[in-house]
Structure 1
Amino acid sequence: MLHPKYRWVGLHREDSVASLLGEQLEIPKILASLLVNRGIQDVQEARRFLQGTMSDLHDPFLLSGMQEAVARIRRAIEQDEQILIYGDYDADGVSSTALMICLMRHLNARYEYYIPHRSKEGYGLHIAALEPFVERGFTLIITVDTGISAVEQIAYARAAGVDVIVTDHHEPPETLPEAYALVNPKLPYCPYPFKGLAGVGVAYKLATALLGDHTPAAWTELVTLGTIADLMPLTDENRILVANGLKAMSYSSFPGITALMGVSGYAKKATEEVSSNHVAFGLAPRINASGRMSYADQAVALLTTENIEEAEKIAEDLDILNKERQLLVDRIVQEAVAQLAEKEAEGSIPHVIVLAGEGWNPGVIGIVASKILDRYYRPTLVLGIDPATGICKGSARSIPGFDMYEALTHCKSLLEHYGGHPSAAGMTLQREQLNHLEEQLNRYAEGVLREEHFVPIMQTDLECSLSDISLPVIEQMEGLAPFGMGNTCPRLLIRGAKLIESRALGKEGKHMKLLLSQNGTVMEAVAFGKGELLSQLTEQARVDVVAEASINEWNGSRKPQLVIQDLAVPHIQVFDHRGSRYPVNKMNEVRSNLIERQSLEQHMIAVVTMEDSNALKNYELNDTPCWIYDKDVGVIPSNTAAFKNGQSRDDIKILFVLELPESPEIWHKMMGSFSALERVYLFHSARDKQEALHPPSREQFKQIYALLKHQVTAPVNEEELISSLIQRTRLSRRMLVMTLEIFEELGFIYRQMGTVMMNQAPAKRALDSSRRYLELEGLAEMEQILHHAGIPQITQWLMTNQQNVS
């Protein structure tokens, strides 16, 4: 058995609605079902989702404050005022700033831009940063991806005679700044129908309000970059903007984007457009590296330069910065995990994890928080402490069910500044408030989080079989792209596929490749980052997988392929180490791997063997629960570790079989007593085939009885008789001894003092009326299976016996 990493939750699907939608749109039902799962149930909405164009975008003037913002910018341009664009250092903020620069250039405005330094200044507007521009006579400030919480800073600008237009998408605070115009779809009074715009999306709406149909189509590339990087939902108009932006990126009008795609390894193929994955994992990290490791100005320069040579130089610099960022993240993650281990040693892992360290670069702690969350699945805050000032700047990442912005609002008296979303946030506070923050957050979490919140959930779109996943179906699914937040690539649940082959893939075997079979359909599957699971998969296991369907193109050939997101083996598994030269040494090696790499605890593992076992005599097994076979109850504890469990077997998941019992009855009682068993590792020695038992047949018994009648006309020596029968029947000595015991029980022969005599007038009795015959039948089956059968046959035998016991 192999447990999935996630709890799989199937989306509720109305089959009748999907069937009707499929008929109306003339699309396959599987595609219609995926649309219904995305909340799309009528034809008009479905067509807009599948075929939406730029003309389907919402009117920008539906945004509150847009009318005032447009009028003020036009007046500033007419009067040749100096305009300051004030942005943010992340990829959304950089994209927003770059788009606003493009707009200012287009309008021939006098402008400059400013982005604060992440670690030296932190997020948001700062009076110290505004002062030089006020002194130089700037009269209009336009914020992008920031400003909605800047009450004091905007009050300062207003008092100095400077108007501020805020364009933002972050959660508005209770007290709003008194800006000239606030443009944010999340304002409680804003009637804009779509609340999921990124900061760059709001900036783009301002551009379209100013330029109308003359807005350059290429600017959707910047919208795409910021929207994907900031994990905004790819639904509604974000979907339209990103779809158009990805197409434009294939032949980008921005030298910086072209250069960035080059250093990130994107090589355009004739049939391949830029995908949301290319942006999320190739472009966005390198744009973010600028603000994380240095000044974000580099990234802004990259996106706004019109010189390809300059773009290529900056792109190379950002690529180097990104590699440095990766090394820095790895180091801080190690330190953070060590710090959390100390907390865990003092108790359990807290509901909300708060970790802080001196010198931790505030530019990368958000990534560290994400990695800690992925490992422990707890809301996580990671903060860098300035040792000189004691100021802590942090980033938070959260799980569904725990609104991080709301939680920080609950603790706002401890914070100097905070902002963000339900799933991610940033904050600044003094060092002496750290412990108080951790305490308050965990008290708040106790009233919000329950046990089920700590199990990560993976939503599956629909359950299907391998035969449903054909090339045409996959091509139709691609019509749902671009994929991302709010519109994930369809996750398909396939149950009971047979594992034909498995092997490591990539450097150091970090990935794995599987070959799956189901009802005659065979399909390849890859599982990235799951190479460690190879040792937990057995030959021909029946696996359940959640996977995304893709098309594997190689040498002109195209075939379906699964990209596995999670997998499970729902049945007991058997691992074959039969006949190992040093079985206990091998068992200890396997046990260490289970404890160290698979996080199993010692008490979950048990060894079972015979009472007079050499393994028990020659090896120290006191640290592992050891049980010996017992004919009455199956097994009984034999060492301190087993007794320590109070003879409880309910938590034992792993069983090491060092020796087989004397009878199948004992085996079945033993297996039945370990009710939670998931895996069986066989270490018993292989029995010599010359001593093998065979399932008895009536013809075989008739043959032996006929030979006895012919040979035993008078009392004969049993050993001599057995030697003769071995020559005539080719059966093992054990088999013939048990046969004689059966004949004796049935009254066909007499055995006395080492001799055998025939009963000349035996009563007629059926073979299966002999208890010894039934024992031979069961023992032969058990030995044939456990000594000589392959792992698939042993697994099926154990599963059948488990079902019979239950």
Structure 2
Amino acid sequence: MLHPKYRWVGLHSDAEAASLLAEQAGIPKIVASLLVSRGIQDAQEARQFLQGTMKDLHDPYLLSGMQEAVARIRRAVEQDEQILIYGDYDADGVSSTALMLCLMRHLNARFEYYIPHRSKEGYGLHISALEPFVERGFTLVITVDTGISAVEQIAYANAAGMDVIVTDHHEPPEVLPEAYALVNPKLPYCKYPFKGLAGVGVAYKLAAALLADETPAAWTELVTLGTIADLMPLTDENRILVTNGLKAMAYSSFPGITALMGAAGYAKSEPLTMVSSTNVAFGLAPRINASGRMSHANQAVALLTTQSIEEAEKIAEDLDILNKERQLLVDSIVQEAIAQLAGKEAEGALPGVIVLAGEGWNPGVIGIVASKILDRYYRPTIVLGIDPETGTCKGSARSIPGLDIYEALTHCKGLLDHYGGHPSAAGMTLHRSQLAKLEEQLNEFAAGVLYEEHFIPVMHTDLECRLSDISLPVIEQLENLAPFGMGNTCPRLLIRGAKLVESRSLGKEGKHMKLVLSQDGTMMEAVAFGKGELLSQLTEEARIDVVAEASINEWNGSRKPQLMIQDLAVPHIQVFDYRGASHPVVKMNEIRSQLIEQQSLEQRMIAVVAVKDSELTKNYELNDTPCWIYDKDVGVIPGNTAAQLNGQNRMDIKILFVLELPESFDIWHKMMGAFSSLERVYLLHPARDRQEAILPPSREQFKQIYALLKQQVTAAVPEEELISGLMRRTRLSRRMLVMTLEVFEELGFIHRDMGTITVIQAPAKRALDSSRRYLELGELAEMEQILHHAGIPQITQWLMTNQQNVS
């Protein structure tokens, strides 16, 4: 058995509503079903979702403050005022800054821009940054992707004779700055119909308000980059802007985007025919972010605004190098953070909110570290870098559904010098002396809103189907829902009971895996990125449940369906074959250590079973693993102290190492009943020579042996002598003959006394199957034949049947 990482929850889709929508909108039923599950049932709404154009964008003047912002910018341009564009250092902030610079150039304005240094200054508007521009006579500041919390800084600007227009999309604080204009769809009084714009989306709306139909179509490329990078929902007008931006990127008007595509490996000498949201999320965004994380975001702004192909290629190459350095740095900090958290776990249970801090941790990458810790432990996580000289901590937070991290930080605002963000991600600054109180107050807050179910990640599935349902035409229909991203995920298909035909690792160090699945005569390849460690947990011909996205694999002119696995499970007991291992206990300890280390299994979940007085358990160290001994009455009894301590909790045992087999099937059956929660069985028992095998008993065989006995035994004969003679005549194993004689004794056909055997010449007639020993012999023969000589699929099926019979 292999448990899924997520709890799978199927999205509800009304079949009747889907049929009606398919008919009214003229779309395939599978697409209609997916739209209904995403809350779209109206035909007009469906057409706009699938075919929306730039004309369907909302009027930018619906944004509060837009009228005032446009008028002030036009006056500044007309009067030749100096304008400062103040941005942020992440990909959304860089895209917003680049778009605003394009707008300023288009307006022929006098302008400069400023982005704070991530580690030296931190997020937001800073008075120290504004002072030089005040001295130089700048009279208008336009913020992009920042500013909504800058109460003191904007008050300073106002007093210094600067007007400030804030364009932002972050959560507004309780007290708003007194800016010349606040443009943010999340303002409580703003009636704008879509609240999910990225910072660059708000900047684009400002450009659209100023330029109307003259707004260059190419600017949607910048909107696309920032929107996807900032994980904004790809619904409503974000979907329209990103769809148009992805199309434009294939023949980009920005040398920097073309060069960045090349650095990410997506484009060579010719333009791409299609750019996907995945290309942007995993190729462009990390390299843009690397600039602000590892150096200064000015590099990324220069890349997106240059008109020189040569300069763009040089900067793109530099950003690619920075991104690789960033990856190494993140890996290093993650390991330190995990070690620090292990120390906290040793002191007690895993906290509801994880707070980790380290000296010298680069503030530029701690957000990524927080995401990785969250992915591993599924807890709201804050990671902070501590400046050892000043004691200042700069942190990033990532949260899970159920805890609004911005609200949680607001609860602790008395400890913070500065904070801001969204329900799922935030940033903060505080002194290291406040760290312990911050952790305490955050966990107090979390205790009131988070329950056990919140700590189990959920994966929504769109549709349950069979492999045969996933054809090329169906996949092409599903692609009509693209672009995919937050709020509009790629359809996740649930396939149950597919047979594993083949499995192998992919990539460096085997981090990924490739499977071949079979179901109802349909074979399909499936790729699972980042799940290479699961290979050792998949057994031959296992029946697998998978949640996957369907894609088309194109190679050498061939096109075929392919699954991209998001999560998987094996719902039945699994068998792992190490039969005949030369050092079974050594092998067991090796596997056991891997299970505890890699899969977080506890010692109490693992057990060993062997026969009484086994040399294996005497001569080898069991490392405190509970060892159980076969018992004819109850199946198993404790065989060491660890088993005695765990004797009342056999339901906890999920993993069983079989070092030896019992002497009867009845004992095996009782043992399986004792360990009724088994998920995996590791077979390490010694191999038995086929010459010693117990054969399934047959009437003809018993008739033949009885005839030989009547011929040879006319008086009491030593049992050993008789067995040796029968072995020569029948070629049956000694074990088989001993048990056959036991059956004859039970039926009254022979008499045993003091090591001799006498044949009863005229016994009472009795049917063979009236002998309990005869029935036991058949069960034992089946058990040994399967556990010694059958393949893993046959053993698995036999154990599953055995489990059902004892449950």
What's 1:121 paired with?
121
Q: Map of 1:210-225 to 2, 5 A cutoff?
A: 210-225=210-225
User: 1:581-596, aligned counterparts within 5 Å?
Assistant: 581-596=582-597
Is the contact between residue 9 and residue 458 of structure 1 (CA under 8 Å) also seen in structure 2? yes
Q: Which range is displaced more, 524-533 or 21-30? A: 21-30
Residue 331 of structure 1: how far off its partner (Å)? 2.0
Give the AA of the match of 2:470.
Answer: I
Q: Secondary structure at the match of 2:650?
A: coil
Deviation at 1:712, TM superposition (A): 4.9
Instruction: Say yes or no: does 1:549 pair with 2:550.
Output: yes
* SS in structure 1 at match of 2:137: coil
> Is contact 2:638–2:647 with CA below 8 Å preserved after alignment?
no
- 2:40 counterpart of 1:40: yes
Q: Cα deviation per residue 1:179-206 (whole Å; 9 max; x = unaligned)?
A: 1111111111111110000000001011
Aligned to 1:209: 209
Equivalent position of 1:148 in the other structure: 148
Is contact 1:622–1:641 with CA below 8 Å preserved after alignment? no
1:287 aligns with 2:288: yes
Q: Which amino acid aligns with 2:491?
A: P
Which residue matches 2:342? 341
Distance 2:649 2:366 in 1: 45
Q: Is the 8 A contact 1:636 1:647 kept in 2?
A: no
Displacement of 1:143 after TM fit?
A: 1.0
Give the CA deviation at 1:527.
1.1
The equivalent of 1:561 in structure 2 is: 562
Q: CA deviation at 1:222?
A: 0.2
Pair 42,728 (structure 1): closer, same or farther in 2 beyond 3 Å: farther
Please say if residues 526 and 564 of structure 2, whose CA atoms lie closer than 8 Å, have aligned partners that are also in contact: yes
In 2 relative to 1, CA 620–361 (structure 1 residues): closer, same or farther, beyond 3 Å? closer
Q: Secondary structure at the match of 2:190?
A: coil
Q: Percent identity between the aligned chains?
A: 85
- Given residue 353 of structure 1, which amino acid in structure 2 is its aligned partner? I
Shifted more, 588-597 versus 241-250: the winner is 588-597
Q: Counterpart of 2:661?
A: 660
Code of the aligned partner of 2:622:
L
Distance (Å, rounded) in 2 between the aligned partners of 1:488 and 1:444: 31
Counterparts of residues 119-518 of structure 1 (less than 5 Å): 119-267=119-267, 272-518=273-519
CA displacement at 1:740 relative to structure 2: 2.7
CA distance in 1, matches of 2:110, 2:561: 54
- Residue 503 of structure 2 contacts residue 515 of structure 2 at CA under 8 Å; is this kept in 1? yes
Question: Which residue does 1:18 correspond to in 2?
Answer: 18
Shifted more, 612-621 versus 53-62: the winner is 612-621
Deviates more, 1:233-242 or 1:133-142: 133-142
Does the aligned pair in 2 maintain the 1:575–1:681 contact within 8 Å?
yes
Letter in 2 for 1:10: G
Secondary structure of the equivalent of 2:260? helix
In the other structure, the counterpart of 1:638 is 639
After TM superposition, the structure 1 stretch with the greater mean CA deviation from structure 2, 279-288 or 70-79, is 70-79
Q: Is the 8 A contact 2:251 2:272 kept in 1?
A: no
Q: Give the SS at the match of 1:650.
A: helix
Structure 1: how far apart are the matches of 2:271 and 2:259? 19
What amino acid sits opposite 2:402 in the alignment? G
User: In 2, are the aligned partners of 1:595 and 1:602 still within 8 Å (CA)?
Assistant: yes
2:515 and 2:323 map into 1 onto residues whose CA distance is 32
Alignment of 1:731-746 (within 5 A): 731-746=732-747
State the 1:732 CA deviation. 2.3
2:527 is equivalent to residue 529 of structure 1 = no
3-state secondary structure, aligned to 2:651: coil
Q: Distance in 2 between matches of 1:154 and 1:617?
A: 77
> How far did 1:129 drift?
1.4
1:668-723 CA distance string (max 9 Å, x none)? 11111012211111111111211211212233333434444555566666555544
Q: Deviation string for 1:57-110 (max 9, x for gaps)?
A: 111111111111112211222222221111111110110010011111111111
* 1:113 counterpart SS class: strand
Matched AA of 1:573: Q
**Aligned residue identity for 2:320:** D
Corresponding residue for 1:77? 77
Contact 1:549 1:560 in 2 (8 A): yes
1:681 and 2:677 matched: no
Cα distance in 2 between the residues matched to 1:130 and 1:755: 109
Q: Secondary structure at the match of 2:143?
A: strand
Deviation at 1:170, TM superposition (A): 0.6
Q: Does 1:617 align with 2:635?
A: no
For these two proteins, the number of residue pairs brought into alignment is: 806
Q: Is the 8 A contact 2:88 2:123 kept in 1?
A: yes
Contact between 1:147 and 1:168, CA under 8 Å: does it hold in 2? yes
Aligned partner of residue 49 in structure 1, secondary structure: helix
Q: Does 1:671 align with 2:672?
A: yes
1:643-675 deviation per Cα after TM superposition (whole angstroms, max 9, x unaligned): 122443121111111111111111111111012
Structure 2 residue identity aligned to 1:570: P
Which one-letter code corresponds to 1:697 in the other structure?
S
Cα distance in 1 for residues equivalent to 2:689 and 2:95: 73
> In the TM superposition, what whole-angstrom CA distance separates every residue of 1:588-619 from its partner, at most 9, and x where no partner exists?
22222222222222222111111121112222
User: In terms of mean alpha carbon deviation, does 753-762 or 774-783 score higher?
Assistant: 753-762
| Greater Cα shift, 671-680 or 271-280 | 271-280
Q: Which secondary structure does the structure 1 equivalent of 2:13 belong to?
A: coil
- The equivalent of 2:50 in structure 1 is 50
Q: Please give the alpha-carbon distance, in whole angstroms, between the structure 2 residues aligned to 1:660 and 1:721.
A: 28
Q: CA deviation at 1:754?
A: 5.2
Shift of 1:731: 2.6
| 1:443 CA displacement | 0.8
* Deviation (angstroms), 1:805: 0.9
- 1:483-529: CA deviation from partner (whole Å, max 9, x where unpaired): 11111111111111111111111111111111111111111111111
C-alpha deviation, 1:22, in angstroms: 2.4
Gaps of 5+ in 1: none
Instruction: Classify 1:454/1:745 alpha carbon distance in 2 versus 1 (closer, same or farther; 3 Å).
Output: same
Contact 1:622 1:640 in 2 (8 A): no
Partner of 1:572: 573
Aligned partner letter, 1:197? L
2: CA distance between counterparts of 1:756 and 1:328? Answer: 80
What TM-score does the superposition give when structure 1 sets the normalisation length? 0.97
Give the partner amino acid of 1:136. Answer: R
Q: Distance in 2 between matches of 1:254 and 1:790?
A: 60
DSSP-derived class of the 2:553 partner: strand
Moved runs in structure 1, 4+ residues, more than 6 A?
268-271
With over 3 angstroms needed to count, the CA separation of the structure-2 counterparts of 1:646 and 1:730, relative to structure 1, is closer
Amino acid at match of 1:192: Y
Aligned residue for 1:627?
628
Residues 717 and 132 (structure 1), Cα distance of their counterparts in 2 relative to 1, 3 Å cut: closer
Query: CA shift at 1:349, angstroms?
Result: 2.1
Under a length normalisation based on structure 2, what TM-score does the superposition of the two structures give?
A: 0.97
Q: How far did residue 548 of structure 1 move?
A: 1.0
Question: Which residue does 2:779 correspond to in 1?
Answer: 778
Matched, 1:519 2:520: yes
Separation in 2, partners of 1:522, 1:575: 24
Query: Structure 1 residues 748, 339: closer, same or farther in 2, change over 3 A?
Result: closer
Greater shift, 337-346 or 225-234, is seen at 337-346
Letter in 1 for 2:235: T
d(CA) in 2 for partners of 1:784 and 1:525? 34
Query: What CA deviation, in whole Å up to 9, does each residue of 1:336-374 have, x standing for no partner?
Result: 222222222222221111112222221111111111111
